[in-house]
Structure 1
């Protein structure tokens, strides 16, 4: 796919840039246009909920830091009313969006695109005074590029996602480029300018996943840094900084650095006609997505009459690749060091599903404050193993089987081949409305939630500006 010297074959970044500009100049399909407002609404709800969550410590740290940086107020911080330079606002908003691990997921790339792209697009739109109608193609193009970069690092013949094998957070690495595309479109860059923004952003993306295993709040900041870097790359491109044309496929380019190999068809096949943004699913539970099929199983057994007091032993079978995230090291997973880290524990999320609950099955309250002793005791009875069927389905679906041995000698079992909210079982419009309501009401007065929802849905027309929309998230005087 590399452009040979002396030929006119477009480079990968040039083809992505042309796709993005076509989205802005010629519009996106109706299904995509209808999808994007829900992405924006979900991110706003998550950011608002993060303000009220003491576990979202990275967002508080980011806001303290950027307030010290100062600068001209160009864009709004969701939920605080702060006006900051656009890259700084994008940073805080991206951290808020990813802090609760409740943001959407694309399969099979297994990354979270909206938490980087939406904050970047909102900040750039405010900075340049773009109307709400400009958000849709920018967000759509940014998410599509993010997803396809993630897919290109998934090797279907082996079932391996190379980013994850190397401990890299594809969400932020790919999201930086997607954020740059979205911001660049809003800044009015042409295809050459978007190509330079991609080339610049590729030098800025980063993210290491070790915090999923052993702690630290830095992962909460990954999407914020991606949004910050994406907005910065777009501004730098607009002001004349340039990037290498072969930044993706080149000998020292993006894929060589991050994956060593890539699937070109996943990046470009059907681009503009087969939309990966429509395969981006919403989470029903505020925990690592790999835990969701196990939660589904536990909720089903509980609904069938299982009494947690009768549980002697539990076996959670999941796809082999996810064990490293939700089951290892075992000491960290049966006794997570904080409520935030409990979101990445297979054993703890099973215990929470059997003993807690709320929201759409599990709620943010299940991951707040001190971890209850009864849940920790039950989590200690959960062992996690690789399940062949779940491994076969991964990563196009998240599957699990839960087996429970009771004190009376009975064996109960429940299996799901695709978790709730996944491609086979997407959340309904009512579910998404409930999720937004429950998240937003943690920080916004009830009478303002409907106005915010209506403003987001109306922002795809000419009547609502991003600044007016975000003003509705500010705390009451």
Structure 2
């Protein structure tokens, strides 16, 4: 019987190099402050996600799984619940170059594992978790994203790295954590064809898988060190054109958390550049002249996911360029209520007169920049247009500190948190080592899904 190799001996594997590079990176006060704001955004999404159809289903499920005790029975299940809730409203963060939503994977794992622990250590873990899943996401190549949901497949590397940091695992145990996390990578886009709720499951399982992998590694449970590049590994199985050169950070690179975008509108991030254009054009529309036609120009990935004239459900509307643009033009705002049945009906006519297509200008810039242009043809034959290279909330056009706090407060109010300002203050104090807030008390099942 052949002896299995020890991960400690395989020091040249990509996961060994990745974890070592991440753990060696310095963390500044500015990094911690930024991480606190991104953490606040994710936590607000978790709380707000409870007040939704899917959130109420998840809370009822976890209540049944805990025999009516009203709370998850273990931290792995709690991580799953937090991650699933965080991704429901489609207003969580997005890292463009990797097409990963890191916050809904990493923050749930840290808050499930580290409630009551040192806030500075937790934020450092979150920085490291963002780095791992974004780096893996950048390396998988564009073909991966056509079939696989990068948040689900690359996310477990992030949650594993974050929990490994929180547990202060040694180098060998970190490799074990990443090895076992990578073997749990999964998540397919097929749910889009029917509007199934599977996408929330992707975030929950991604958060849970990494937590399980790291806590097993703490007990010496081994994982494949060459899970990325091995002959039967992640790249070979799921990536027709991986680029390993994007996996490891250079000394001059910023933490990838600083390269992550914050969503101002509750829809797929691929719709946001077009929404930005639509909102600008709404302010330019002349009174009394109807819109004849709308043309949206974008990049291929946006069309692959969001070319959808019909919006039969709120979720379909969030993945419809046509609906989001029509709403922006008609209403001058894109809010939660703009995806409900009445609003979808009001936008139906303009949706039907909205076309979408790919142009090289935006295709060649993707994924480093997500741009769009809209042309609006009016009934008198005149035309107005607007284009953006990046969208509001991108690193090039970041939301201000006050904007992010206001967004979080709005989400917490939507989720009926009993004291939004107290939770905001607790999270923003984490860079000064304030304890990680415990969210588990909010997860009890209620008739309306909230406290």
Q: What's the TM-score once normalised by structure 2's chain length?
A: 0.91
- How many angstroms does 1:325 deviate by? 1.0
Equivalent position of 1:78 in the other structure: none
Moved more, 303-312 or 196-205: 303-312
CA distance in 1, matches of 2:352, 2:412: 34
Given that residues 124 and 187 in structure 1 are in contact (C-alpha distance below 8 angstroms), is that contact kept between their aligned partners in structure 2? no
- How many angstroms does 1:326 deviate by? 1.1
- Among 76, 83, 88, the alignment partner of 1:99 is 88
- How many angstroms does 1:36 deviate by? 0.6
The Cα offsets for residues 42-62 of structure 1, whole Å up to 9 and x where unpaired, read as 0111122222223xx1x3333
- How many angstroms does 1:451 deviate by? 0.9
Asked if 1:132 corresponds to 2:119, the answer is yes
The Cα offsets for residues 367-402 of structure 1, whole Å up to 9 and x where unpaired, read as 234444221111111011112212122111111111
Flag the 1:123–1:390 CA change in 2: closer, same or farther, 3 A. Answer: same
Flag the 1:125–1:286 CA change in 2: closer, same or farther, 3 A. Answer: same
Any idea what SS the aligned residue of 2:328 has?
Answer: helix
- How many angstroms does 1:142 deviate by? 0.5
Equivalent position of 1:299 in the other structure: 279
Write the mapping of 1:375-454 to structure 2, written as runs, cut at 5 A. Answer: 375-444=347-416, 448-454=419-425
- How many angstroms does 1:296 deviate by? 1.1
CA distance in 2, matches of 1:72, 1:256: 43
- How many angstroms does 1:300 deviate by? 0.8
- Among 59, 66, 80, the alignment partner of 1:63 is 59
Structure 1: where are the runs of 5+ without partners? Answer: 74-80, 155-160, 328-332
Any idea what SS the aligned residue of 1:425 has?
Answer: coil
Given that residues 35 and 123 in structure 2 are in contact (C-alpha distance below 8 angstroms), is that contact kept between their aligned partners in structure 1? yes
The Cα offsets for residues 270-319 of structure 1, whole Å up to 9 and x where unpaired, read as 16853222101101111111111111111111111345970111111111
CA distance in 2, matches of 1:321, 1:443: 31
- Among 132, 135, 138, the alignment partner of 1:151 is 138
Flag the 1:208–1:189 CA change in 2: closer, same or farther, 3 A. Answer: same
- How many angstroms does 1:82 deviate by? 2.9
Given that residues 311 and 406 in structure 1 are in contact (C-alpha distance below 8 angstroms), is that contact kept between their aligned partners in structure 2? yes
Q: What's the TM-score once normalised by structure 1's chain length?
A: 0.86
CA distance in 2, matches of 1:219, 1:191: 32
Flag the 1:272–1:17 CA change in 2: closer, same or farther, 3 A. Answer: farther
CA distance in 2, matches of 1:284, 1:350: 15
The Cα offsets for residues 127-161 of structure 1, whole Å up to 9 and x where unpaired, read as xx53222201111101000100011123xxxxxx1
CA distance in 2, matches of 1:372, 1:263: 41
Given that residues 147 and 276 in structure 1 are in contact (C-alpha distance below 8 angstroms), is that contact kept between their aligned partners in structure 2? yes
Any idea what SS the aligned residue of 2:364 has?
Answer: helix
Moved more, 185-194 or 198-207: 185-194
Flag the 1:92–1:382 CA change in 2: closer, same or farther, 3 A. Answer: same
Moved more, 197-206 or 64-73: 64-73
CA distance in 1, matches of 2:441, 2:148: 35
Asked if 1:334 corresponds to 2:336, the answer is no
Given that residues 426 and 434 in structure 2 are in contact (C-alpha distance below 8 angstroms), is that contact kept between their aligned partners in structure 1? no
Asked if 1:109 corresponds to 2:106, the answer is no
CA distance in 2, matches of 1:99, 1:319: 25
CA distance in 2, matches of 1:445, 1:22: 38
- How many angstroms does 1:450 deviate by? 1.3
Given that residues 21 and 190 in structure 1 are in contact (C-alpha distance below 8 angstroms), is that contact kept between their aligned partners in structure 2? no
Flag the 1:307–1:42 CA change in 2: closer, same or farther, 3 A. Answer: farther
- Among 71, 76, 79, the alignment partner of 1:82 is 71
CA distance in 2, matches of 1:241, 1:425: 44
Any idea what SS the aligned residue of 1:334 has?
Answer: coil
Flag the 1:429–1:274 CA change in 2: closer, same or farther, 3 A. Answer: closer
> How big is the alpha-carbon RMSD for the aligned residues of Structure 1 and Structure 2?
2.7
Flag the 1:94–1:271 CA change in 2: closer, same or farther, 3 A. Answer: farther
Given that residues 143 and 178 in structure 1 are in contact (C-alpha distance below 8 angstroms), is that contact kept between their aligned partners in structure 2? yes
Given that residues 59 and 443 in structure 2 are in contact (C-alpha distance below 8 angstroms), is that contact kept between their aligned partners in structure 1? no
Given that residues 286 and 364 in structure 1 are in contact (C-alpha distance below 8 angstroms), is that contact kept between their aligned partners in structure 2? yes
- How many angstroms does 1:471 deviate by? 5.3
- Among 150, 160, 163, the alignment partner of 1:170 is 150
Equivalent position of 1:17 in the other structure: 19
Any idea what SS the aligned residue of 1:255 has?
Answer: helix
Equivalent position of 1:123 in the other structure: 112
The Cα offsets for residues 11-56 of structure 1, whole Å up to 9 and x where unpaired, read as 1111222234446xxx5133321211011100111122222223xx
CA distance in 1, matches of 2:190, 2:72: 33
CA distance in 2, matches of 1:461, 1:471: 24
Flag the 1:257–1:31 CA change in 2: closer, same or farther, 3 A. Answer: farther
